[in-house]
Structure 1
Amino acid sequence: MTEESRNKPLYMISVAAELTGMHPQTLRVYESKGLVNPKRSGGNTRLYSQADIERLELINQLTDEGINLAGVVRILDMKERAEARELEAEKLRSRVRQLEDELHELKMQKRITALAPRDGSADPEKVLRGLLSGGDL
């Protein structure tokens, strides 16, 4: 499921309550405490996304394990920060791969330039052997 579809507001509070096994009033309390932030329709009806449902299920699991709401807030904050850092790390890994590819291309261009004089006097077979061996002429 894409991130966009996970965040699409779909479920009214009664459906969200049924899906999570929670009372609608509990969902309102969690919203008032900032644990979940459902979107609102034009008529001000709460609309929960699949991501909201998953978050509520995690909250339910944590509270069932005896963690109070202050602890839940702390855990959710750490989880979000870890996810943001992982996303940032993946972007950095991608950028490193891109830079490695660019560096490789520049090295290849340098080797080709060194093996093929500008006046066109280089022997094509010698240039090819030099490229394949990784050495210079």
Structure 2
Amino acid sequence: MDEYSPVFAIAMAADLAEMHPQTLRQYDRLGLVVPQRTRGGSRRYSMHDVGQLREIARLGGEGVSLEGIRRVLDLENENAALRERVRELESALATELINRPGSRVFAANSLGSAVPLRAGARPERNTQVVLWRPPLR
């Protein structure tokens, strides 16, 4: 079981969020916190949902409108998803570096673009000197 497991019926979720069950139903209709449903259609809330309900109450207490709250929750959820994706990519990179020690994953060419390199290969280096003289007038 994790924080996204839908385990709380509406009455328990309302108690945990310190709200009336009808408020949870309204937030569900508005799409602010949408719980999962059982086969019979009953709402089931997760700890994440309860946390979002508490955040809605906090923001509402500070005078933020429901549309503003919706935007804040959307941005927080997007931020969490992006952080998770970064963790996944960092893990994949770490695994690649462990599986191929000493190899380069990529390098930058003279235009600044990333180019892949074979294991043990070194990027080409441009060591030419260019002399520029202004034209005579």
TM-score, normalised to structure 2, is: 0.68
| Kept in 1: contact 2:97–2:103 (CA 8 A) | no
- Percentage of matched positions with identical amino acids: 34
Q: Tell me the CA shift for residue 106 of structure 1.
A: 5.3
Q: CA offsets per residue over residues 89-119 of structure 1, 9 Å max, x none? A: 1111112222222342559x97xxxxxxxxx
**Which of structures 1 and 2 has the larger relative contact order (alpha carbons within 8 angstroms, sep 6+)?**
1
Q: Which runs of 5+ in 1 are unaligned?
A: 111-137
Larger radius of gyration: 1
Query: Number of matched residues?
Result: 106
| Kept in 1: contact 2:8–2:44 (CA 8 A) | yes
Q: CA offsets per residue over residues 20-54 of structure 1, 9 Å max, x none? A: 11111111110001011112223222111111111
For the aligned residues, what is the CA RMSD? 2.1
TM-score, normalised to structure 1, is: 0.68
Q: Tell me the CA shift for residue 62 of structure 1.
A: 1.0
More helix by share: 1
Q: Which runs of 5+ in 2 are unaligned?
A: 105-118, 121-137
Q: Structure 1 residues 103, 42: closer, same or farther in 2, change over 3 A?
A: closer
Deviating more after overlay: 98-107 vs 41-50: 98-107
